[in-house]
Structure 1
Protein backbone atom coordinates (compact mmCIF):
# COMPACT_ATOMS: atom_id res chain seq x y z
CA UNK A 1 0.00 0.00 0.00
CA UNK A 2 1.18 3.50 -0.87
CA UNK A 3 0.58 6.87 0.74
CA UNK A 4 -1.45 7.75 -2.38
CA UNK A 5 -3.97 5.03 -1.47
CA UNK A 6 -4.60 6.64 1.90
CA UNK A 7 -4.87 10.09 0.34
CA UNK A 8 -7.52 8.83 -2.09
CA UNK A 9 -9.67 7.65 0.82
CA UNK A 10 -9.01 10.75 2.94
CA UNK A 11 -9.27 13.35 0.22
CA UNK A 12 -6.64 15.74 -1.01
CA UNK A 13 -7.82 19.02 0.52
CA UNK A 14 -5.08 20.79 2.42
CA UNK A 15 -6.06 23.53 4.83
CA UNK A 16 -3.36 25.96 5.87
CA UNK A 17 -2.63 29.14 7.77
CA UNK A 18 0.20 31.67 7.89
CA UNK A 19 2.59 31.68 10.86
CA UNK A 20 1.69 35.29 11.70
CA UNK A 21 -2.02 34.46 12.07
CA UNK A 22 -3.58 34.28 15.51
CA UNK A 23 -4.47 31.03 17.19
CA UNK A 24 -8.04 32.35 17.33
CA UNK A 25 -8.15 32.60 13.52
CA UNK A 26 -6.77 29.07 13.22
CA UNK A 27 -9.40 27.71 15.61
CA UNK A 28 -12.16 29.38 13.60
CA UNK A 29 -10.95 27.70 10.40
CA UNK A 30 -10.59 24.34 12.14
CA UNK A 31 -14.12 24.61 13.51
CA UNK A 32 -15.60 25.61 10.14
CA UNK A 33 -13.82 22.78 8.32
CA UNK A 34 -14.29 20.23 11.14
CA UNK A 35 -10.58 19.40 11.19
CA UNK A 36 -8.04 18.97 13.97
CA UNK A 37 -4.95 20.54 12.41
CA UNK A 38 -3.71 23.08 9.88
CA UNK A 39 -0.53 23.12 7.86
CA UNK A 40 1.49 26.28 8.51
CA UNK A 41 2.67 27.48 5.12
CA UNK A 42 4.52 30.63 4.11
CA UNK A 43 5.75 31.42 0.59
CA UNK A 44 4.72 27.91 -0.55
CA UNK A 45 7.00 26.35 2.09
CA UNK A 46 5.81 24.09 4.90
CA UNK A 47 6.86 25.74 8.15
CA UNK A 48 5.06 23.43 10.56
CA UNK A 49 1.69 22.17 11.72
CA UNK A 50 -0.78 23.57 14.26
CA UNK A 51 -3.01 21.03 16.00
CA UNK A 52 -5.61 20.90 18.73
CA UNK A 53 -2.88 19.36 20.88
CA UNK A 54 -0.66 22.42 20.35
CA UNK A 55 -3.58 24.59 21.41
CA UNK A 56 -4.28 22.60 24.56
CA UNK A 57 -0.67 22.33 25.72
CA UNK A 58 0.81 25.62 24.55
CA UNK A 59 -2.11 28.00 25.00
CA UNK A 60 -4.77 26.70 27.40
CA UNK A 61 -2.51 25.02 29.96
CA UNK A 62 -0.18 28.01 30.22
CA UNK A 63 -2.94 30.64 30.37
CA UNK A 64 -2.18 32.32 27.04
CA UNK A 65 -4.94 33.91 24.97
CA UNK A 66 -5.96 32.69 21.54
CA UNK A 67 -6.29 36.18 20.11
CA UNK A 68 -2.83 37.34 21.27
CA UNK A 69 -0.83 34.19 20.46
CA UNK A 70 0.57 33.72 16.98
CA UNK A 71 0.63 30.36 15.24
CA UNK A 72 4.36 30.68 14.55
CA UNK A 73 5.04 30.92 18.29
CA UNK A 74 3.44 27.58 19.15
CA UNK A 75 3.27 25.46 15.99
CA UNK A 76 5.08 22.16 15.81
CA UNK A 77 8.03 22.62 13.46
CA UNK A 78 10.20 19.88 11.96
CA UNK A 79 7.27 18.07 10.39
CA UNK A 80 8.07 14.69 8.89
CA UNK A 81 6.68 14.42 5.37
CA UNK A 82 6.10 11.64 2.86
CA UNK A 83 5.41 11.55 -0.87
CA UNK A 84 2.35 9.92 -2.45
CA UNK A 85 4.52 7.25 -4.07
CA UNK A 86 6.07 6.21 -0.73
CA UNK A 87 5.14 2.87 0.80
CA UNK A 88 3.42 2.93 4.18
CA UNK A 89 5.65 0.12 5.40
Structure 2
Protein backbone atom coordinates (compact mmCIF):
# COMPACT_ATOMS: atom_id res chain seq x y z
CA UNK A 1 0.00 0.00 0.00
CA UNK A 2 1.28 3.44 -0.90
CA UNK A 3 1.17 6.77 0.94
CA UNK A 4 -1.39 8.08 -1.56
CA UNK A 5 -3.63 5.10 -0.86
CA UNK A 6 -3.35 5.74 2.88
CA UNK A 7 -4.32 9.38 2.31
CA UNK A 8 -7.26 8.38 0.10
CA UNK A 9 -8.56 6.08 2.84
CA UNK A 10 -8.00 8.31 5.86
CA UNK A 11 -8.51 11.63 4.14
CA UNK A 12 -5.91 14.18 3.15
CA UNK A 13 -6.97 16.93 5.54
CA UNK A 14 -3.93 18.89 6.62
CA UNK A 15 -4.23 20.34 10.10
CA UNK A 16 -2.02 23.38 10.38
CA UNK A 17 -1.13 26.42 12.42
CA UNK A 18 0.69 29.63 11.53
CA UNK A 19 4.25 30.27 12.75
CA UNK A 20 3.08 32.85 15.29
CA UNK A 21 0.56 30.51 16.96
CA UNK A 22 1.35 30.15 20.66
CA UNK A 23 2.30 26.79 22.10
CA UNK A 24 -0.85 26.89 24.20
CA UNK A 25 -3.09 27.44 21.17
CA UNK A 26 -1.24 24.77 19.20
CA UNK A 27 -1.62 22.34 22.12
CA UNK A 28 -5.35 23.07 22.16
CA UNK A 29 -5.48 22.32 18.43
CA UNK A 30 -3.79 18.96 18.99
CA UNK A 31 -6.18 18.14 21.81
CA UNK A 32 -9.36 19.21 20.01
CA UNK A 33 -8.48 17.30 16.87
CA UNK A 34 -7.06 14.30 18.76
CA UNK A 35 -3.86 14.36 16.71
CA UNK A 36 -0.17 14.25 17.56
CA UNK A 37 1.16 16.98 15.29
CA UNK A 38 0.25 19.92 13.10
CA UNK A 39 2.05 21.33 10.10
CA UNK A 40 3.32 24.88 10.54
CA UNK A 41 2.51 26.80 7.35
CA UNK A 42 3.97 30.14 6.30
CA UNK A 43 1.77 32.99 5.06
CA UNK A 44 2.13 31.63 1.51
CA UNK A 45 0.95 28.18 2.73
CA UNK A 46 4.38 26.55 2.50
CA UNK A 47 5.33 24.07 5.23
CA UNK A 48 8.09 25.51 7.44
CA UNK A 49 7.91 23.02 10.28
CA UNK A 50 5.98 20.47 12.27
CA UNK A 51 4.80 21.04 15.82
CA UNK A 52 4.22 17.83 17.76
CA UNK A 53 3.37 16.64 21.25
CA UNK A 54 7.03 15.74 21.55
CA UNK A 55 8.05 19.36 20.81
CA UNK A 56 5.59 20.58 23.43
CA UNK A 57 6.82 18.15 26.08
CA UNK A 58 10.45 19.10 25.42
CA UNK A 59 9.66 22.83 25.63
CA UNK A 60 7.76 22.43 28.91
CA UNK A 61 10.51 20.29 30.42
CA UNK A 62 13.18 22.82 29.49
CA UNK A 63 11.32 26.10 30.12
CA UNK A 64 8.36 25.40 32.35
CA UNK A 65 4.81 26.63 31.80
CA UNK A 66 5.91 30.14 30.82
CA UNK A 67 6.87 28.77 27.37
CA UNK A 68 3.20 28.33 26.52
CA UNK A 69 3.09 31.98 25.43
CA UNK A 70 5.92 31.48 22.91
CA UNK A 71 5.31 30.97 19.20
CA UNK A 72 5.53 27.47 17.78
CA UNK A 73 8.49 28.57 15.67
CA UNK A 74 10.59 28.63 18.84
CA UNK A 75 10.25 24.87 19.34
CA UNK A 76 8.87 23.29 16.14
CA UNK A 77 10.79 20.69 14.20
CA UNK A 78 12.26 22.43 11.18
CA UNK A 79 13.81 19.38 9.52
CA UNK A 80 10.84 18.27 7.45
CA UNK A 81 10.76 14.58 6.61
CA UNK A 82 8.95 14.07 3.32
CA UNK A 83 8.04 11.20 1.04
CA UNK A 84 6.42 10.86 -2.35
CA UNK A 85 2.83 9.62 -2.74
CA UNK A 86 4.04 6.36 -4.28
CA UNK A 87 6.20 5.50 -1.25
CA UNK A 88 5.02 2.17 0.15
CA UNK A 89 4.16 1.38 3.76
CA UNK A 90 7.36 -0.56 4.43
CA UNK A 91 9.48 2.36 3.23
CA UNK A 92 7.43 4.81 5.31
CA UNK A 93 7.92 2.63 8.37
CA UNK A 94 11.63 2.36 7.71
CA UNK A 95 11.92 6.13 7.27
CA UNK A 96 10.01 6.79 10.49
CA UNK A 97 12.11 4.31 12.42
CA UNK A 98 15.41 5.50 10.97
CA UNK A 99 14.69 9.19 11.49
CA UNK A 100 12.84 8.64 14.81
CA UNK A 101 9.76 10.59 13.69
CA UNK A 102 6.06 9.89 13.93
CA UNK A 103 4.82 12.01 11.03
CA UNK A 104 5.89 12.25 7.39
CA UNK A 105 4.73 14.93 4.98
CA UNK A 106 3.62 13.54 1.64
CA UNK A 107 4.71 15.86 -1.15
CA UNK A 108 4.10 15.78 -4.90
CA UNK A 109 5.44 18.41 -7.29
CA UNK A 110 6.48 20.58 -4.34
CA UNK A 111 2.90 20.58 -3.01
CA UNK A 112 1.89 19.14 0.34
CA UNK A 113 -0.61 16.33 -0.24
CA UNK A 114 -1.14 15.21 3.36
CA UNK A 115 0.49 13.79 6.46
CA UNK A 116 0.98 10.13 7.29
CA UNK A 117 1.44 9.22 10.95
CA UNK A 118 2.97 6.18 12.59
CA UNK A 119 -0.57 5.19 13.60
CA UNK A 120 -1.64 5.23 9.95
CA UNK A 121 1.28 3.00 9.01
CA UNK A 122 0.75 0.54 11.86
CA UNK A 123 -2.97 0.30 11.07
CA UNK A 124 -2.17 -0.62 7.45
CA UNK A 125 0.52 -3.13 8.44
CA UNK A 126 -1.92 -4.87 10.79
CA UNK A 127 -4.56 -4.97 8.05
CA UNK A 128 -2.00 -6.50 5.65
CA UNK A 129 -1.01 -9.15 8.20
CA UNK A 130 -4.65 -10.02 8.90
CA UNK A 131 -5.43 -10.31 5.19
CA UNK A 132 -2.40 -12.54 4.65
CA UNK A 133 -3.38 -14.76 7.60
CA UNK A 134 -6.92 -15.05 6.26
CA UNK A 135 -5.61 -15.99 2.81
CA UNK A 136 -3.37 -18.67 4.30
CA UNK A 137 -6.24 -20.00 6.41
CA UNK A 138 -8.49 -20.21 3.34
CA UNK A 139 -5.75 -21.92 1.34
CA UNK A 140 -5.16 -24.50 4.07
CA UNK A 141 -8.88 -25.19 4.45
CA UNK A 142 -9.34 -25.78 0.71
CA UNK A 143 -6.14 -27.81 0.20
| TM-score normalised by the chain length of structure 2 | 0.56
Q: What is the match of residue 56 of structure 1? A: 57
* Counterparts of residues 1-89 of structure 1 (less than 5 Å): 1-42=1-42, 43-58=44-59, 60-62=60-62, 63-88=64-89, 89=91
Q: Distance in 2 between matches of 1:27 and 1:81?
A: 23
Query: Deviating runs (4+, > 4 A) in structure 1?
Result: none
Q: How many aligned positions are there?
A: 88
Normalized per residue, which structure has more helix?
2
Q: What is the match of residue 94 of structure 2? A: none
Q: Distance in 2 between matches of 1:66 and 1:11?
A: 33
Unaligned runs of at least 5 residues, structure 2: 92-143
| Structure number with bigger Rg | 2
Larger RCO (alpha carbons 8 Å, 6+ apart): 1
| TM-score normalised by the chain length of structure 1 | 0.86
